[in-house]
A and B are shown apart, each in its own frame.
Chain A
Amino acid sequence: MYLLRLALASLGNRRFTALLTVFAIALSVCLLLAVERVRTEARASFANTISGTDLIVGARSGSVNLLLYSVFRIGNATNNIRWDSFERFADHRQVKWAIPISLGDSHRGYRVMGTSPAYFEHFRYARSQPLQIGQGRAFADDPFEVVLGAEVAKALDYRLGEELVLAHGVATISLVKHDDKPFSVVGILERTGTPVDRTLHISLAGMEALHVDWQNGMPARGAGVVSAEQARALDLQPKQITAFLLGLNSKIATFSLQRELNEFRGEPLLAILPGVALQELWSLMGTAEKALFVVSLFVVLTGLIGMLTAILTSLNERRREMAILRSVGARPWHIASLLILEAFALALAGVLLGLLLLYLGIAGAQGHVQANYGLYLPLDLPTAYEWALLGAILSAALLMGCVPAWRAYRQSLADGLSIRL
């Protein structure tokens, strides 16, 4: 115990270098844990985004691409699919429910999704949790009604009954607005922690009404304009959608229906199993994750080597200190353990400060990360794996402490009270 006190007192004497060393270790530990945490949370939140959907169907492209745009609202569809293809498979005897999805518009950076009431009934996330409407109701017959995700409502401060204008395209600042056909907010969903929170949901009829008078990708001018009132009277049956989600009566039928969809002659369709596509995505991201992890490991190593350097360079200055300790009865192994303890104390302080930095960082960035990346970072205690990482860092520090300890041990054997420099 007195050894530890001595080690701390000696460190206190060199507090500036000691503090810098601790800070370097703390930053590296914080980085390592942050990378680890973002990685695991990203996986968990991705995996929680969709549940209970047996097949996702879209235009033929890549399975990861289809998964990203249909579920995560990342990227864009290469093509749309015909409404009659959707109807054909929605009525398939193996299909229990089908949710059409139509994408392409946005509102102040948040994606707008056209869908049917089936979405609120059948869509599941996390562990088979249904969507809950927190305020108001789902959209009904009027095409110009919108149901907001929790994050949209909170960030843009919308309440029930307010009117908003959607923009054409998905850029954050869009020059073409659908300002002739405003939508009114009829419902706000409960928070889900998934991309649903960052989505505005309108009916397919609403999506069709927005573009009913468009020609060649441009809004109509003059006589061609169809007002919101006129649009209500029109037949707003959509002709195309972006993708659809299917739930089946029996999981046994999944593969045969997937085959049937992929071999559909009407148009090139791609049916994917969301769970399988998600794992494909992991294997793609796995390399990047590993690279990040390795980089942060090396940063930790650099921090520890910095500590080693600091202790080693201090050894010469501390010959007198060691000699005095020897003269009052300290044995060489006392001197050695003093240095190991010093290294350990520095690393421990670094780890603790690193944890503190991590939690401060998470607490500070939580809201921002959730709003912009849909990633919820919980303020949980470190997991077993994280403890193991921290333990490994501490043992590495102990091991490194052996180097100066060994040198000091040799020196204290050779040096007398009067040091021959």
Chain B
Amino acid sequence: MRRLLLALPFALLPLAAAQANEHNHAHTDEHGSLDAHEHGAARLNVVLDGQALELQLESPAMNLAGFEHAANSAADKAKVATVRSQLQDPQALFGLNAGDCTLSEQELESALFEEAAHDEQHADEDESEHSEIHAQYQLDCKKPSELKQLNLSELFKRFPATEKIQVQLIGPSGQQGVELTPAKPSLSF
């Protein structure tokens, strides 16, 4: 019996080796780690350099649309369309009313939007996964010195499921990292 027990690790060795191979395989194929995904929390990167202002918002779709599955019903599709149009107004969303800024480019990206656009080809794959909404804006500000602060109260109002936004801001006074909430929605540049 004892001898058998001693032999057990050796018997299991090929199995372990096989698993190790598989493990490596998985690593080379995909990224080593996954992005954090926390409902209620979003991330916003803002950079102001000269006249160029760039904003990147990353949020779980849950915060903005209220669901993360593919939009199948008519109600869901309508909701996705509303979210999309609400996101297309960065000046209001981020309270950028000074500085004479005009939107030069914007990009909205999400599994939800794709499916709304060209139907449910790969809806099945994504259904169980969390989905994110990424929004990227480039603005051109003629008077950047007048741009005093960022105010997210409109964003919190439009998307009440968003409880906090982790903001990284690079402005004339350097780098800042602050967590903004509906109670404290603004940050000066």
Interface residues of chain A, those whose CB is within 8 Å of chain B, are 51, 60, 250-252, 254-255, 263, 265, 268, 273-277, 279-280
Contacts and interface: CB of A to CB of B under 8 A. Distances in A.
Nearest to A283: B179
Closest CB pairs A-B (n = 8): A275-B175, A276-B177, A251-B49, A255-B45, A279-B177, A273-B175, A252-B49, A275-B174
B168 A255 contact: yes
Contacts of A251: 47, 49, 170
Contacts of A51: 174
Given A273-B175, A275-B176, A275-B177, 12 more contacts: A251-B47, A252-B47, A252-B52, A252-B54, A254-B47, A255-B45, A255-B168, A265-B28, A265-B31, A273-B170, A275-B174, A279-B178
Contacts of B54: 252, 255
B3 to A, nearest CB: 35
Most chain-A CB neighbours within 10 Å: which of B54, B170, B177?
Answer: B177
A70 to B, nearest CB: 15
B52 A268 contact: no
B59 interface: no
20 contacts: A60-B33, A251-B47, A252-B52, A254-B47, A265-B28, A265-B31, A268-B32, A273-B168, A273-B170, A273-B175, A273-B177, A274-B175, A275-B170, A275-B177, A276-B168, A276-B177, A279-B176, A279-B177, A279-B178, A280-B177
Given A251-B170, A268-B32, A268-B33, A276 B47 contact: no
A147 B31 CA distance: 40
Nearest to B52: A252
User: Which of B28, B47, B178 is most buried by chain A, counting CB atoms within 10 A of its CB?
Assistant: B47
Given A252-B49, A255-B45, A276 B175 contact: yes
B131 interface: no
A152 B31 CA distance: 43
Nearest to B167: A276
B171 to A, nearest CB: 9
B177 A255 contact: no
B153 interface: no
Nearest to B53: A252
Contacts of B49: 250-252
Contacts of A255: 45, 47, 54, 56, 168
A275 B169 CA distance: 9
A64 B45 CA distance: 19
Nearest to B55: A255
B69 to A, nearest CB: 26
A339 to B, nearest CB: 46
Contacts of A250: 49
Interface string B89-114: 00000000000000000000000000
Interface in B18-63: 28, 31-33, 45, 47, 49, 52, 54, 56
